[in-house]
Amino acid sequence: NVGPPAAAYAIEPVTGRRFEDYVEENWFKPLGMKTASYFDTPDVESRLTKLYRSDGKTPFPYWHILLRPAGSINASAADMANYVQFYLNRGAYGGVELLPPAAIERMETSTTTYGAREGLKTGYGLSNYSTVRARIFHGHNGGVSGGLTELAYLPDDGVGFVFMINSGSQQAFTQIDRLIRSYLTETLPKPAVLPVVPGPAKLAGEYAGWYEPITPRPELIRSFSRLGGLTKLSVLPNGLSLRLLNGRSLDYVAVTDRLFRRPTGEAAPTIALIADKSEGTLVEGGGLTFRRIPSWMAWLEITFTVVAGLLILGSVAFALVWVPRKLLGRMRTVECLSVRAMPVLA
């Protein structure tokens, strides 16, 4: 479910035709994508592979995504390889320019986030995001229940890949992805490493402290994301240190006084200290925006979470006492047992 170029959305005014029909006629055919289709027709269904759960054995029913054009494109591996060529050729396929190179560059560039305004070149563009390692890959991934896919390419090196697996195994997906990226870059010249500059000591008091994420991708789990994403930021002589709630610590070295990268040779900065304070003291990185909160608030949230967890476990421990007593007939005078039972069932 890797969507069509986002720039296609603004090509033609409303004409009464379905958007999907327009894309199939004006994008799939010129790209040589003969099998690609949005629709769950008998012809498409006859070519679909079976989907499986993460064990690779238990079948999973096909899930036809309703949120077109964000997903639901069914296509062969060969068709998707043509789509990779389209990006590598900077908007052209088979010698025909479908989009100007500037449109592809715009799709690959994040422009509206606080981090982009600070100079971060990585992030989510127009249906196209960057993955920063020793090099900057661009592309998009996708997934349905029982199927995972990845499309990525290196525009400056002219190589890319796409693969799909008919399994929900995230572990297998990650291993395949890592192997392919290693193979593609094995013979490429080593990229230049960004120089390290002195850390922003003058900003230590301004940005050091506790942060919580304020831009979760699914709104449904905002509260869990906020608690699980609590992070303590410390300003070091040559960069930053982020200590996560699970105890893991991530260090970053300074590229400028506001942009930072991992010390293991990331090709671009991935963390930004935001100068704009209109929404508080912000840090952006990893596709999320974090806002600084008072230390007492962070510890209060941590404490209440721990207490809530203990109370949940306490209801189970308490049941080890009253359930046997109930079975032995020693709670005949006790009323409202459902008040005790519901927490245990929950």
What is the per-residue pLDDT across 73-123, written as a single tens digit (0 to 9) for each? Answer: 888 999 999 999 999 999 999 888 989 999 999 999 888 889 989 888 888
Question: For residues 139 and 124, is the Cβ–Cβ distance under 8 A?
Answer: no
The backbone torsions φ and ψ at residue 111, rounded to the nearest 5 degrees and listed phi first, read -125, -20
* Cα(262)–Cα(239) distance, integer angstroms: 9
Confidence of residue 5 (pLDDT cuts 50, 70, 90): low
Question: For residues 129 and 139, is the Cβ–Cβ distance under 8 A?
Answer: yes
Read off the pLDDT of each residue in 212-241 and give the average, rounded to a whole number.
87
pLDDT digits (tens, 9 = 90+) for 109-135: 888 889 989 888 888 888 898 888 888
DSSP class of residue 38 equals S
* Cα(316)–Cα(279) distance, integer angstroms: 42
Question: For residues 132 and 191, is the Cβ–Cβ distance under 8 A?
Answer: no
The secondary structure element, H or E, covering residue 259 is strand 259-261
Percent of the chain with pLDDT over 70: 94
Residue ranges of alpha helices (H) inside 230-291 are none
* Cα(45)–Cα(30) distance, integer angstroms: 23
Q: Is the dihedral of CA 114, 115, 119, 122 positive or negative?
A: negative
- Predicted structure pTM score: 0.79
Confidence of residue 9 (pLDDT cuts 50, 70, 90): very low
Give the pLDDT of residue 16.
Answer: 64
Give the pLDDT of residue 36.
Answer: 87
Residue 7 has pLDDT above 70, yes or no: no
Give the pLDDT of residue 11.
Answer: 47
The secondary structure element, H or E, covering residue 84 is helix 77-88
Give the pLDDT of residue 205.
Answer: 78
Read off the pLDDT of each residue in 49-71 and give the average, rounded to a whole number.
83
* Cα(128)–Cα(155) distance, integer angstroms: 13
Read off the pLDDT of each residue in 200-204 and give the average, rounded to a whole number.
74
| Residue with more model confidence, 157 or 40 | 157
* Cα(11)–Cα(25) distance, integer angstroms: 13
Residue 14 has pLDDT above 60, yes or no: no
